[in-house]
Chain A
């Protein structure tokens, strides 16, 4: 399973770090993703990171503000979010797609991020 944490209320322009811990599978072997669900855009893929962190990709619209990383010794995935905007409000999910960038076969329960003054 995957369990996210770190969501909360933050002011516009603020920062937040989300975490995701995996268990029950070989976390270090899998491509890991962050996906969000917002009222304005529905489901939106944010970023992925490959096993060993060799390959990282971001959605074009989010490049520069969000940074993905992983710490395999802790079976953990992170998302650092800077310069947050009201439109970033939503539920943030981590997900796994196994050995390749393909369907998301395992999702966390999500963590809620609210950006508001």
Chain B
């Protein structure tokens, strides 16, 4: 089973700042890594698939990078609506990271 470890567990940032969330896999998973956003009392929503491909309708301030074992979700020019918990997920053995809660100051 592939273990995904996200860092940090919690991050607080101000509007217009840039944040970076990382996800490290316990073994090489190529680019089978996907990112989700979950707002309170909502189900997760797919943001980026295959490490770098944003879904249609996802704001351009969201971007993903990485391959192999190290991946990054970057959110530029933060907005209040970006407050959420972000999860990485890999589709080789279908595991999730533990989540990163993002607070907007």
Which residues of A line the B interface, CB within 8 A? 42-45, 48, 59-60, 93, 97, 101-105, 107-110
On whether A103 and B89 interact (CB within 8 A), knowing A42-B99, A45-B96, the answer reads yes
Q: Give CA–CA (A38, B34) in the complex, Å.
A: 20
Which residues of B line the A interface, CB within 8 A? 1, 32, 34, 36, 43-46, 49-50, 55, 87, 89, 91, 94-96, 98-99
B33 to chain A, nearest CB (A): 9
Q: Give CA–CA (A102, B101) in the complex, Å.
A: 24
Number of A-B contacts (CB under 8 A): 45
In contact, A107 and B96 (Cβ under 8 angstroms): no
Interface class of chain A by DSSP: loop
List 28 A-B residue pairs with CB atoms under 8 Å apart, sorted by A's residue number: A42-B98, A42-B99, A43-B44, A43-B89, A43-B96, A44-B96, A45-B95, A45-B96, A48-B94, A59-B94, A93-B43, A93-B44, A101-B91, A101-B94, A102-B32, A102-B49, A102-B91, A103-B34, A103-B46, A103-B49, A104-B34, A104-B36, A104-B44, A104-B46, A104-B89, A105-B55, A107-B45, A109-B43
In contact, B45 and A42 (Cβ under 8 angstroms): no
Q: Give CA–CA (A96, B34) in the complex, Å.
A: 14
Contact partner of B87 (CB less than 8 A), chosen from A43, A60, A97, A108, is A43
